[in-house]
Amino acid sequence: MASVVTRWQTLAPELKSVLRMVAALLFLQSGTMKLFGWPMAMPEGQSFSLMSQMGVGAILEVVGGTLLLVGLFTRPAAFILSGEMAVAYFQFHFPNGFWPLVNQGQPAVLFCFIWLYFSAAGAGPWSLDAALRRSS
């Protein structure tokens, strides 16, 4: 049993990379929905100007989500996106109630803290950041 636990613990760096990639894919969908109407159209026919706060958020989600997906400039990208999610939560969700379950802010809270973690922890071994470090 100890060998299974020990082996599982040695996978932590790779699983950190997997968490980053899966979270980035989920996050990226919010931006592609807003900018490209994919994988679904904006709810209830909503629209926005690209130069609005919603437009800037969509650009951050697509560009930042892509950077996090491949693990490039992970720490600064994750820090910026963590801040974006904090703003999104307090501006759009918190006014509708205190509890994230009630105000539908659970994704914003989770992404905020996941990105905050990656801003401190880095991308993990399966990333362009790690590949660039190995090649220099």
Q: What percent of the chain has pLDDT over 90?
A: 88
What pLDDT digit, counting tens, does each position of 85-95 carry? Answer: 999 999 999 99
Q: What is each CA distance from 64 to 32, 55, 88, in whole angstroms?
A: 12, 14, 15
| 64 within domain boundaries | yes
Q: Enter the pTM of the model.
A: 0.93
| 121 within domain boundaries | yes
pLDDT of residue 47: 81
Average pLDDT over the chain, rounded to an integer: 95
Domain that holds residue 35: 15-135
pLDDT of residue 56: 96
Q: Point out the residues of the chain with pLDDT beneath 70.
A: 1
Domain count, the chain: 1
| 65 within domain boundaries | yes
Opening angle at CA 71, ends 70 and 72, nearest 5:
100
| 7 within domain boundaries | no
pLDDT of residue 42: 86
